[in-house]
Amino acid sequence: MIEVSAKLERSGFALDVDVACKPGVIGLFGPSGSGKTTLARIIAGFEEPQTGEISFDCQPLYSTKQCINLKPHLRRVGYVFQDTRLFPHLTVGENISYGLRFQTSSPSIDFEELVSLLDLDGLLSKSPAALSGGEAQRVGFARAVMAHPKFLILDEPLSSLDQMRKYLVLKYLEKLKFRYEIPMLYITHDPSELFRIADSLVILESGKSLASAPLEDALGDPKFAAFLGVDALCRFVNAQVQEHLEGGLTRLSLGQQSLILAGLNAPVGARVRVRIPAQDVILAKGTLPLLSARNQLTAEVTDIQRGHGPGALITLSVDQQSLLVRVTAQALNELSLAVGDQCYALLKTLGFNARDVMI
Ligand code: ADP
Ligand code: MG
């Protein structure tokens, strides 16, 4: 458990946070200037709050009450910066082994294994200046992980990359997460980065921690949508690869029903988790005409929430799993849907993105 309460005031800005999160990957989300980096620097010990209590697994790193202020290197907090800050005079390999000098705990991290996990084998003798943005970030991750930190802070590491590169680099971060189980604070102002990597979410706005929740609860909660944007609303469903079909498609079983996606690179029987964005689901009632949508799931309406704007949020039960659907209030009226009604949830196969499927 990481627990942070801290207050810091500087001209025109006040930070006042109080958060407690289980380890795993904590997504820290907030607009630019909301105090994310300030909070990260306080946790790492680069900046001192006016008052605060910071502990990790009940061990205090900073405590006004107990007069504790551990020096940054004793906190064993790793920090990956947006601009990587690799040492330009060292090769990639030397940059990564630089982390070794901070490694005190055993079992230690194996250099070769880490390098191969991040596909950096071919880059070791290169200079950081010769790397692409995504490669440089992977080297930054490797250097930080090599020091085997107790906690790793990643401060907007992907914000200079385009969406496609972000996704590719996030896959490497996901590998690190599962291989080394180092608790992380992942800072971003892009909700799409959170879907894959975060386990819980903390919202920071104008220096205040406004809300925190497990990621999947937050992504289905209209309260969080006020910060993340309504297009981030979604649900995750569990499914299993049932068969690979002709035409480059894969059929997943979703209880008694199936979900057809573009071909997945996973064996039959593999368990997957699929993110279904609320705005991508179309609702239908009655007898269906011929439709291009490959996924026509039978569902039951379990909840309806009308918002103040044009949209309404409907929760469906599909074979004991839940889907969230965002449609206009006008459509809801026209379909005259009520809790307990049967309907169809229509999903386009090609509407799914590889980023939405966790294998
Ligand atoms: P974020 O990382 O969310 O963009 P920051 O923590 O960098 O936010 O900044 C929070 C506020 O503190 C902003 O108003 C910023 O201008 C201000 N700030 C950041 N660093 C300093 C500093 N070293 N001295 C004075 N003000 C700063
Ligand atoms: Mg920042």
Nearest partner of 198 among 29, 17, 1, 3, judged by Cα: 29
Q: Would you say residue 23 has pLDDT above 90?
A: no
> Which amino acid, 146?
M
- Is it true that the peptide bond before 277 is cis, omega within 30 degrees of 0? no
Report the nearest atom of ligand 1 relative to the CA of 32.
4
The answer on pLDDT for 250 being more than 80 is: yes
Cβ partners under 8 Å of residue 271, min gap 6: 238, 239, 240
135, pLDDT greater than 90 = yes
**Is the pLDDT at 106 greater than 70, yes or no?**
no
Cβ-based neighbours of 205, under 8 Å, separated by 6 or more? 30, 31, 34, 227
pLDDT-wise least confident of 117-121, 214-218, 233-237, 307-311: 307-311
pLDDT, average across residues 306-327 = 93
Ligand 2 centre to CA of 186 (Å) is 11
CA of 14 to the centre of ligand 1 (A): 10
Question: Whose alpha carbon is nearest atom 15 of ligand 1?
Answer: 33
Give the number of the atom of ligand 1 that is nearest the alpha carbon of residue 34: 3
What distance in angstroms lies between residue 219's CA and the mean position of ligand 2's atoms? 23
Residue with tokens 């950081």: 128
Q: Give yes or no for residue 31 having a pLDDT over 70.
A: yes
Which of 11, 29, 37, 210 is the pocket-test mutation for ligand 1 (most atoms within 8 Å of CB)?
37
Q: How do residues 184-236 score in pLDDT, each as one tens digit?
A: 999 999 998 998 899 999 999 999 999 899 999 999 998 899 899 999 999 99
Stretch 6-18: mean pLDDT: 95
Instruction: Please provide the average confidence, as pLDDT, over all residues in the chain.
Output: 94
3-state secondary structure of 289: coil
CA distances from 64 to 6, 11, 53, 59 (A): 10, 22, 6, 14
Mean pLDDT, residues 266-281 = 96
3-state SS, residue 174:
helix
Residues with CB under 6 A from ligand 1: 10, 13, 30, 32-38
Q: Please measure the distance between the N-terminal and C-terminal CA atoms of the chain and give it in whole angstroms.
A: 27
For atom 10 of ligand 1, the residue with the nearest CA is: 35
Distance CA 188, CA 80 (A): 13
* pLDDT above 90: residue 308: no
Closest CA to 244 of 265, 219, 220: 265
Query: What is the best residue among 32, 38, 79 to mutate for testing ligand 1's pocket, by most ligand atoms within 8 Å of CB?
Result: 38
**Per the structure block, which two tokens stand in for 235?**
């649900």
Q: What protein residues have CB closer than 5 angstroms to ion ligand 2?
A: 36-37
pLDDT of res. 105:
65
